[in-house]
Amino acid sequence: MRDSFEKIKEKLSTLSRRQIILGGGTLAAAGFIANQRPAKNAGAHNDYFLSLQNAVKQANLARPTLVIDKQRLDQNIATLRSHLRTGMNYRIVAKSLPSLPMLEYVMKETGTNRLMVFHQPFLNLVATRLPDADILLGKPMPVAAAARFYDELGRGRFTPARQIQWLIDTPARLAEYAELATAKNIDMRINFELDVGLHRGGLREPGELPALLNAIDAHPRLSFSGFMGYDPHLASVPGVLGWQASAFESSTGLYKAFINQAKSHYGDRWQQDQMTFNTAGSPTYQMHEESTHATEIAVGSALVKPTHFDVATLDDHVPASFITTPVLKVRDKTEIPALEAIGPLTRFWDRNSAKTFFIYGGNWLAEPVSPPGLQTNDLFGRSSNQEMLNGSDEVTLTTNDYVVLRPTQSEFVFLQFGDMALFEAGEITDTWPVFTQGA
């Protein structure tokens, strides 16, 4: 009897030990999972974004608005200028700052009339409205688009024969442009696209050049005006083991080899001062502070710094473009249609999905930046009408407050909001119309 009593006692104590171990394990697992959860982000607008919100409210911009911070734009312009060696020219990438008054402003502040243009309707607009511009095409246009440019160009001061360089990437395209020049009886300046490592097309070997230059020489209406070698890939090459430096050397080495080939082709007839040797883009322009082979760098995005340009090579530029939009609805939980039951689980896992804010508009190429911790919900889906944003229970936004986003790029996003609003010293001081895509 006593034996069996002892056995039961022992069994009970074993059981409870196991239970304790199991219970402890569950707790440890829960603790582990809890530690793995995304960090809880929260906060209110900081002073800067609060002042931005007040400015758009004051200006009655209760709709999605593209805002340019003028002082920050000025700061970026000053930064750009500080990196240009004497004699290095600046060409504005018009697609990245797609607004006439904005281009005029940057032209004035940087003292340049050089623009890089990428779209036929914009080309006609710029030629008409900025008749002193010096234009280099940023991509090889279909010859039919070039023809249309001439067909639509009204009378005015702008002289395409002097003020445009058409970009050519292949012998076939050069032949098409030669035919156009003959058919329209017009002079055309030809700039060749070089593949200096990006592999997006263009000439790869200096050996390709003589045949092309011979074809230009043989045509009474064509002239050679230079090269364009865009090199943004250099910014993504890791700096370790000197990889970036050697990629830069080989890219610029190839560019120089093209220049030497052209020089030796023309011999005594070489006119260096007539040449445009364009290079760089926002992420690489600072690498060219000492470059002497290039006559100019092309930069647009760095002046407004969308999120794709948050790169080490642009550390001294500041974000100057934002989207502000009102909050329409606030909910204290997040519900996904037909998945209501897993709400508590997702809320436990990601505390930043605790609350829901529906905003006016959405689904832009943009990322929410203020208040901190807002995120889109891929389970719910994106919406251009009323986008769902989620935040933690500490996000204190209420209806009619504003959310601030940063565009990921400027060239397309800037065109989606109507006039841009200029934010300066705490106020919206002006508006700048943007380009329209074409009649």
Ligand X SMILES: Cc1ncc(COP(=O)(O)O)c(C=O)c1O
Footprint of ligand X on this chain (CB under 6 A)?
93, 96, 116, 138, 228, 230, 281-282, 298-302
CA distance 348 to 16: 30
CB 296 → ligand X: shortest distance, Å? Answer: 11
CA distance 113 to 131: 10
Phi, psi at residue 393, to the nearest 5°? -70, -5
* Residue 49 host element (H or E): helix 47-58
CB 299 → ligand X: shortest distance, Å? Answer: 4
**SS3 assignment, position 385:** coil
CB 115 → ligand X: shortest distance, Å? Answer: 11
CA dihedral 9, 13, 15, 21 (to 10 degrees): 180
CB 258 → ligand X: shortest distance, Å? Answer: 16
CB 107 → ligand X: shortest distance, Å? Answer: 15
CB 167 → ligand X: shortest distance, Å? Answer: 8
Our CB check for ligand X shows the closer of 176 and 296 to be: 296
Our CB check for ligand X shows the closer of 251 and 282 to be: 282
* Residues 328 and 385: beta-carbon distance below 8 Å: no
Our CB check for ligand X shows the closer of 53 and 286 to be: 286
CB 272 → ligand X: shortest distance, Å? Answer: 22
Six token digits for residue 51: 């002042």
Our CB check for ligand X shows the closer of 125 and 228 to be: 228
Which residue from 238, 251, 249 is spatially nearest to 199, judged by alpha carbons? 251
CA distance 104 to 413: 20
CB 391 → ligand X: shortest distance, Å? Answer: 31
Parallel, antiparallel, or unpaired: how do β-strands 114-117 and 89-93 relate? parallel
CA distance 157 to 159: 6
CB 50 → ligand X: shortest distance, Å? Answer: 30
Residue nearest to ligand X (CB): 281
CA distance 327 to 402: 6
Our CB check for ligand X shows the closer of 301 and 325 to be: 301
Phi, psi at residue 208, to the nearest 5°? -75, -15
Phi-psi region of 362 (alpha: psi -120 to 50; beta: other; left: phi over 0): left
CA distance 37 to 67: 34
Our CB check for ligand X shows the closer of 287 and 298 to be: 298
* Residues 180 and 147: beta-carbon distance below 8 Å: yes
Our CB check for ligand X shows the closer of 228 and 259 to be: 228
3-state secondary structure 167-213: EECCHHHHHHHHHHHHHHCCCEEEEEEECCCCCCCCECCHHHHHHHH
List Cβ<8 Å contacts ≥24 apart for 392-395.
392/40, 392/41, 392/42, 392/351, 392/352, 392/354, 392/355, 393/42, 393/332, 393/351, 393/354, 393/355, 394/40, 394/42, 394/43, 395/42, 395/43, 395/355, 395/357, 395/371
CA distance 287 to 187: 35
Our CB check for ligand X shows the closer of 166 and 360 to be: 166
Our CB check for ligand X shows the closer of 45 and 114 to be: 114
CB 232 → ligand X: shortest distance, Å? Answer: 7
Our CB check for ligand X shows the closer of 44 and 318 to be: 318
Our CB check for ligand X shows the closer of 106 and 421 to be: 106
CB 95 → ligand X: shortest distance, Å? Answer: 7
Centre a 10 Å sphere on the Cβ of residue 21 and count the other Cβ atoms it contains: 10
